[in-house]
A and B are shown apart, each in its own frame.
Chain A
Amino acid sequence: MTYIANTDTQRREMLSALGLDSIDELFDIIPKNLKSFSFNLPEAKSELELRQHLQLLARKNATDLISFLGGGFYDHYIPAAVDTIISRSEFYTAYTPYQPEISQGVLQAIYEYQSAICRLTNMEVSNASLYDGGTALYEAAMMSVRITGRRKIIVDEGVSPIYRKMLHCYTSNLSLEFVEIPTHNGIVNRELVKKELDKDTSAVILQNPNFFGCIDDFTDIVEKAHQAGALVISSVYPVSLGILKTPGEMGIDIATGEGQSLGLPLSFGGPYLGFMGTSKKYVRKMPGRIVGKAHDNKGREGFVLTLQTREQHIRREKATSNICTNETLCALQALVYLTLLGKEGFKEVAELCADKAAYTSKRLTEISNVKKKFSQPFFNEFTVELTGDAGDAIAALVEKGFAAGFPLGRYYKGMERCMLVAVTEKRTKEEIGLLKESLENVL
């Protein structure tokens, strides 16, 4: 295939306008010894061949497993209309809306997305998106350091182990102190947090529901942290906010999360969507693009990128973050999803997930070798303990057509027998029953 429009004749015309005989002359500036040598790339394929090749590759992936796999990334139903909108190439072939007069579509969409995130989280302001939930959490940690001028960060071990690894990676060259607090009965260990909170503490990082699926109310921790002059950052699973107490209601200072569950497919890890909300007083310390309402000289309303002085293209090495390209199309996708489900529908999704998870937990724990690990309430994901290695059980269940859950031993020492099971609105009573039977058979 080629997507080049010009013909040889046109190229000759253009070259002669430049007073040149060949295209090679345009590259004369590159010293001879720097010109490429090997160039072993495949030959061009036709669209038909490409389609056949990619279809074959797609078939080499096990996507027919009945999935109870979560861990922060969930198999939710995506209404058909979501793809209709994000397939509009006026949206997806545009770039960052630097020219508001011809970008009102995407700008208004981002303003609406920011509004939706604020309404979901009960936070006062939202940015236009970050890469994913993990980088959003790291950005929030750095933001707390900018706000407080302190350098110690307390992290609960209930925060996704993947995100904690990311936090370590990003801050390894900075003189920040990380203190990880082991959980107690599956939730935040209040005593240890209190002990660690001091005048150097910039933030306490929490997650709700946490990696084990347990849900919590952080209001008391927020109170203690604020007394110590520290902020509280909470990573939150957005679908849970259909019913659960919000970061805003808990007094959280910076709420972040992974927006994948809001209408984005799992897509083997991306593109995803990092969201972030905070208080208005911290908005100038927030990373990422922000859209605001504005008016033209005739009083007509429109939207623009605003508070840009925080950003790298203006403040360069003093910017709040280096982020430039974000995940705008994914933000639009999440917005369309939230809009389609609407006030009632979104609550219903959360209720369906929670109710089905409760049922699944009950059914699985009917098996004599399966116990609930924690007594804490949970939303759509929960931890069960088996009598043997959870990885073995899960592997055996793959054979039976299930992605039955996540073996927690991969990330938590001493939890080799624990399996994390996630349930979304897509799972049916029949599938849950089958899982129970199959698990019983492999144990």
Chain B
Amino acid sequence: MYPKELKYTKTHEWVKNEDGEAVIGITRYAVEKLKDIVFIELPSIGAKVTKDSPFGTIESVKAVFELNSPVSGEVIAVNEAVNTSVDKVVKDPHGDGWIIRVKLKEQSELDNLLSKEEYEKFIQDIPKEG
């Protein structure tokens, strides 16, 4: 379910390194947890993002969560489709539902992110709610 080529965060974002450019999205787990995503606020192109700092927000009907960037760098593309509808994020969060593309500042920032296996274990250990 969680692709091997992606790296993950404990705040449920994923990142994929494509030749010094990082594609960032949210995980299937986050999508399922939030259930009713209605809107994702994207940064503008050219915005600077910092590792572990918010770059946008994701909203359900009655809650707002921050999206944290797994890496630092400059936003070079945003998924325009997400601007009009969150459908793609809900249906294919690890693929077509990517959120932003960032020009990486420090490749090494990718090193201490979670692997597929580590992330899967991490989410398994999160206590289930009533």
Contact of A314 among B38, B39, B41, B64 (CB under 8 A): B64
B96 at interface by CB-CB < 8 Å: no
In residues 43-57 of chain B, which contact A (Cβ within 8 Å)?
none
B-side contacts of A308, CB under 8 Å:
61-62
B-side contacts of A315, CB under 8 Å:
64
CA distance A296 to B63 in the complex (A): 21
A284 at interface by CB-CB < 8 Å: yes
A96 shortest CB reach to chain B, Å: 15
Total A residues in contact with B, Cβ cutoff 8 Å = 6
Per-position binary interface string of chain A over residues 285-312, scored 1 when its CB falls under 8 Å from any chain B CB and 0 otherwise? 0000000000000000000000011000
B59 at interface by CB-CB < 8 Å: yes
Per-position binary interface string of chain A over residues 312-343, scored 1 when its CB falls under 8 Å from any chain B CB and 0 otherwise? 00110010000000000000000000000000
CA distance A315 to B60 in the complex (A): 12
Total B residues in contact with A, Cβ cutoff 8 Å = 9
B-side contacts of A318, CB under 8 Å:
64
A-B pairs with beta carbons under 8 A, tally = 17
B-side contacts of A314, CB under 8 Å:
62-64
B49 shortest CB reach to chain A, Å: 16
CA distance A309 to B60 in the complex (A): 8
Question: Residue of B at shortest CB range from A318?
Answer: B64
Per-position binary interface string of chain B over residues 92-112, scored 1 when its CB falls under 8 Å from any chain A CB and 0 otherwise? 000000000000000000000
In residues 39-94 of chain A, which contact B (Cβ within 8 Å)?
none
B47 shortest CB reach to chain A, Å: 11
A-side contacts of B60, CB under 8 Å:
309
B39 contacts A284, CB within 8 Å? yes
CA distance A309 to B38 in the complex (A): 10
Per-position binary interface string of chain B over residues 24-39, scored 1 when its CB falls under 8 Å from any chain A CB and 0 otherwise? 0000000000000011
CA distance A284 to B39 in the complex (A): 10
Question: Residue of A at shortest CB range from B83?
Answer: A281
Instruction: Determine which residue in B38, B62, B64 has the highest number of CB atoms from chain A within 10 A of its CB, and name it.
Output: B64
CA distance A343 to B62 in the complex (A): 38
B-side contacts of A309, CB under 8 Å:
38-39, 59-64
Question: Residue of B at shortest CB range from A313?
Answer: B62
A-side contacts of B61, CB under 8 Å:
308-309
CA distance A308 to B39 in the complex (A): 12
CA distance A308 to B41 in the complex (A): 15
CA distance A308 to B63 in the complex (A): 9
CA distance A314 to B41 in the complex (A): 16
CA distance A219 to B61 in the complex (A): 37
CA distance A435 to B79 in the complex (A): 65
CA distance A318 to B63 in the complex (A): 12
CA distance A284 to B83 in the complex (A): 12
B83 shortest CB reach to chain A, Å: 10
A-side contacts of B41, CB under 8 Å:
284
CA distance A314 to B57 in the complex (A): 13
CA distance A315 to B38 in the complex (A): 15
A-side contacts of B38, CB under 8 Å:
309
Question: Residue of A at shortest CB range from B59?
Answer: A309
CA distance A58 to B59 in the complex (A): 51
A-side contacts of B62, CB under 8 Å:
308-309, 314
Instruction: List the interface of chain A (C-beta within 8 A of B).
Output: 284, 308-309, 314-315, 318
Q: A309-B38, A309-B64, A314-B64 are in contact. List 14 more A-B contacts (CB 8 A).
A: A284-B39, A284-B41, A308-B61, A308-B62, A309-B39, A309-B59, A309-B60, A309-B61, A309-B62, A309-B63, A314-B62, A314-B63, A315-B64, A318-B64
Q: List 17 A-B contacts (CB under 8 A).
A: A284-B39, A284-B41, A308-B61, A308-B62, A309-B38, A309-B39, A309-B59, A309-B60, A309-B61, A309-B62, A309-B63, A309-B64, A314-B62, A314-B63, A314-B64, A315-B64, A318-B64
Instruction: List the interface of chain B (C-beta within 8 A of A).
Output: 38-39, 41, 59-64
